[in-house]
Amino acid sequence: MSGSYTREEDAQEEEEDFGSQIDNVVFLVDARGSMYEECENEAQDLRILNILQVALELMKAVVIESPRDSIGIIFFGTQKKEPVETGADNGK
């Protein structure tokens, strides 16, 4: 090693840093009445189902490509006001 630092080494280091990056994605979904209307697509799915299908496809890709990443879905405009216990980690 000559002590000099080349652009190629710098680029390689940047690629390695990028590859170890963890992403967190949050879908913020409007759950009010208009989301239960049909989309203007051929299948005429409900809008809420359409966004959930997109989120599911992204989740499938993330599990395969980078399992350390996180995805969340937050619904607003729902009827129920209290958060629902998921049982994921109740502190037990």
| Spatial separation of the C-alpha atoms in residues 79 and 81, rounded to whole Å | 6
Locate the domains of the chain by residue range: 22-76
pLDDT at 82 over 50: yes
pLDDT at 14 over 70: no
H or E, element range at 66 = none
| Spatial separation of the C-alpha atoms in residues 71 and 63, rounded to whole Å | 10
Q: Per residue in 46-69, pLDDT tens?
A: 888 888 888 899 888 887 888 788
pLDDT at 29 over 80: yes
CA 7 to chain centroid, in Å, comes to 34
Q: Burial of 9 by CB count in 10 Å (0-12 exposed, 13-18 middle, 19+ buried)?
A: exposed
Considering the chain, what percentage of its residues have pLDDT values greater than 90? 1
Task: Give residue 92's pLDDT.
Answer: 46
